[in-house]
């Protein structure tokens, strides 16, 4: 089948429509760059929409706390100020450097092929979050029959848990945040964690300890039971092996997600492990004109800080260096937005 002709060349293309990609699209528009954004998911927002729409977010400046879905709504509204082209449910498959149409003999651009189109761009910014992801599952055969029948790996609708007895398994931010959120609507919430200490924000842990959530450390699932649907969970203390049976209606296994770069791994960008793209302080990859920002990045000598606020800063850096690269005489520092009439164009 003949390949469709490419769309007109844009200045920058974002691979991923999560917070970093959406804010990057807005900021690139602020710098008067033409923009295209694509994402494999059917809705903008990345992990916030797919995994945590009802989760409160605490690390975004100007918002002491904001629901993930509301943050996505705001970011999308902000990005659309400059009318970027946004393609959802569209998977990027290949990245190839090609001659720039109408450019000088030495000028090149990037061609990105997807399962729906063929695009040309002067610069690429990879904002794909954790890449392709799937939930981490426990090695426990009693869980499988109840997946979708009381067992979930994320909660997309708090109201679905109203008045129910909920068991949450995990010790990270997601487990703690869901326990706090569901504690306001569920009949009972029990949180079990296999060891002492949580991998969550201190403020959230303090709030958990002050809440009515039944927190049981050093506990794990022995077996789940029910007739066609989850009814009980037998948990055990991994120090003594003592068992407790809980009557539960729902269980959320908030154990995290396994991430993989997917097709990005084949693009020629230097990677770190299975889920990170290596970048320098300018957010440049090893490919000229290809940048990355957000959770997908790894900088040498810097521990990953998978926070939204970090991704927003990183994508701002990437956009400004991309601008200086593709615009003749372009400066990295644009001046303060408050100094520009109308704040933009």
Per-residue pLDDT at 337: 67
What architecture (CATH level 2) is domain 137-253? 3-Layer(bba) Sandwich (3.50)
Per-residue pLDDT at 283: 97
Segment (H or E) for 95 = strand 92-99
CA distance 14 to 39: 9
CB 232 within 8 A of CB 248: yes
The DSSP annotation for 225-258 comes to: E-SSS--EEEEEETTT--EEEEE-SEEEE---EE
Compute the average pLDDT of residues 16-34.
96
Per-residue pLDDT at 201: 82
pLDDT tens, 70-86?
A: 999 999 999 999 999 99
Per-residue pLDDT at 99: 94
What architecture (CATH level 2) is domain 10-132+257-343? 3-Layer(bba) Sandwich (3.50)
328 — alpha (psi -120 to 50), left (phi > 0) or beta? beta
Compute the average pLDDT of residues 311-330.
95
CA distance 175 to 254: 5
In the chain, what are the domain boundaries? 10-132+257-343, 137-253
Per-residue pLDDT for 158 more than 70?
yes
Selection from 88, 93, 80 nearest residue 16 by Cα: 88
Per-residue pLDDT for 211 more than 50?
yes
Residues 6+ apart with CB under 8 A from 152: 250, 251, 252, 253
pLDDT tens, 261-289?
A: 888 999 999 999 878 999 999 999 999 99
Per-residue pLDDT at 344: 42
Per-residue pLDDT at 341: 41
Compute the average pLDDT of residues 184-207.
92
| Angstrom distances, CA of residue 129 to CA of 162, 204, 242, 262, 338 | 31, 23, 40, 12, 30
Residue 207 binned pLDDT confidence (cut-offs 50, 70, 90): very high
Q: What is the dihedral of CA 277, 279, 282, 284, to 10 degrees?
A: -70
Per-residue pLDDT at 72: 94
Compute the average pLDDT of residues 324-330.
91
pTM: predicted TM-score of the whole model, two decimal places? 0.73
Residue 87 binned pLDDT confidence (cut-offs 50, 70, 90): very high
CB 153 within 8 A of CB 124: no
CA distance 82 to 24: 12
Compute the average pLDDT of residues 127-150.
87
Backbone phi, psi, residue 284, to 5°: -85, 140
Helix pair 308-326, 19-30: axis angle to 10 deg: 40
Per-residue pLDDT at 132: 62
Residue 18 binned pLDDT confidence (cut-offs 50, 70, 90): very high
CB 261 within 8 A of CB 131: yes
State what percent of residues in the chain have pLDDT above 70. 94
pLDDT tens, 167-178?
A: 999 998 889 988
Per-residue pLDDT for 20 more than 60?
yes
CB 178 within 8 A of CB 150: no
Per-residue pLDDT at 156: 67
CA distance 162 to 262: 37
Per-residue pLDDT at 42: 79
CA distance 294 to 311: 4
Judged by DSSP in three states, 341 sits in: helix
Per-residue pLDDT for 40 more than 90?
no
Within this chain, domains 10-132+257-343 and 137-253 share the same CATH topology: yes
Average model confidence (pLDDT) across the chain? 90
Q: How many CA atoms lie within 13 A of 53 on its CB side?
A: 12
pLDDT tens, 182-192?
A: 999 999 999 99
pLDDT tens, 245-263?
A: 999 999 999 988 776 788 8
Per-residue pLDDT at 86: 95
């Amino acid at each position: 089948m003949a390949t469709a002709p490419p769309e007109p060349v844009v200045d920058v293309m974002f691979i991923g429509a999560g917070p970093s990609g959406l804010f990057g699209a807005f900021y690139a528009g602020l710098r008067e760059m033409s923009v295209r954004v694509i994402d494999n998911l059917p809705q903008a927002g990345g992990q916030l929409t797919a995994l945590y729409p009802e989760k409160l977010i605490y690390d975004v400046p100007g918002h002491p706390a904001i629901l993930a879905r509301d943050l996505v709504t705001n970011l999308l509204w902000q990005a659309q100020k400059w009318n970027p082209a946004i393609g959802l449910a569209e998977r990027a498959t290949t990245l190839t450097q090609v001659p720039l149409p109408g450019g000088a003999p030495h000028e090149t651009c990037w061609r990105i092929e997807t399962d729906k189109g063929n695009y040309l761009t002067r610069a690429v910014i990879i904002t794909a979050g954790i890449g392709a992801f799937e939930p981490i599952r426990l090695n426990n055969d009693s869980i499988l029959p109840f997946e979708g029948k009381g067992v979930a790996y994320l909660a997309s609708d708090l109201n679905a848990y109203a008045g129910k007895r909920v068991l949450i398994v995990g010790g990270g931010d997601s487990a703690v945040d869901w326990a706090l959120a569901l504690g306001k609507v569920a009949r009972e919430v029990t949180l079990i964690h296999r060891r002492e200490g949580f991998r969550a924000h201190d403020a959230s842990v303090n709030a958990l300890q002050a809440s009515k959530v039944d927190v049981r450390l050093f506990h794990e699932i022995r077996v789940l039971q029910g007739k066609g649907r989850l009814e009980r969970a037998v948990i055990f203390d991994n120090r003594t092996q003592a068992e407790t049976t809980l009557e539960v209606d729902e269980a959320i296994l908030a154990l995290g997600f396994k991430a993989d770069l997917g097709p990005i791994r084949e693009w020629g960008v230097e990677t770190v492990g299975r889920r990170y793209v290596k970048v320098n302080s300018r957010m440049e990859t090893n490919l000229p004109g290809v940048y990355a920002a957000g959770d997908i990045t790894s900088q040498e000598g810097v521990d990953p800080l998978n926070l939204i606020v970090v991704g927003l800063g990183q994508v701002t850096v990437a956009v400004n260096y991309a601008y200086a690269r593709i615009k003749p005489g372009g400066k990295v520092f644009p001046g303060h937005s408050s100094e520009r009439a109308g704040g933009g164009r």
